[in-house]
Amino acid sequence: MEAIEIRIRGQIDKSWSDWLGGLTIAHNAAGDTVLTGSVRDQSALVGLLNRLSGLGLRLVSVGPFEGCTADKGGSKTCES
């Protein structure tokens, strides 16, 4: 699992979380949407980015999410 943060121009409804693989959806002061959580691997991340692109959403940034910690077994816990 990889912890990620995706920023999108504009706001999407928080009810889209399930459709976006359970990512946490938040909105920042600039009016952008911030998606945080974990994806299975790089292939899942590309699939997610393709879904967002298919909706015509403007991607601002994609990167690792620093709010995650891993236990000894490799399980990650993310806080948004």
Cβ-based burial of 72 (10 A; exposed 0-12, middle 13-18, buried ≥19): exposed
For tokens 């692109």, name the residue.
53
Please count the structural domains in the chain.
1
What pLDDT shows up at residue 1? 82
Residues for the chain: how many in total? 80
The domain of 46 spans 2-78
What pLDDT shows up at residue 54? 92
Across residues 41-53, what is the average pLDDT?
A: 94
Residue 8 contacts residue 58 (beta carbons within 8 Å): yes
| CATH code, domain with 45 | 3.30.70
- Does residue 65 register a pLDDT over 90? no
- Does residue 68 register a pLDDT over 70? no
Residue 3 contacts residue 64 (beta carbons within 8 Å): yes
pTM, two decimals, is: 0.79
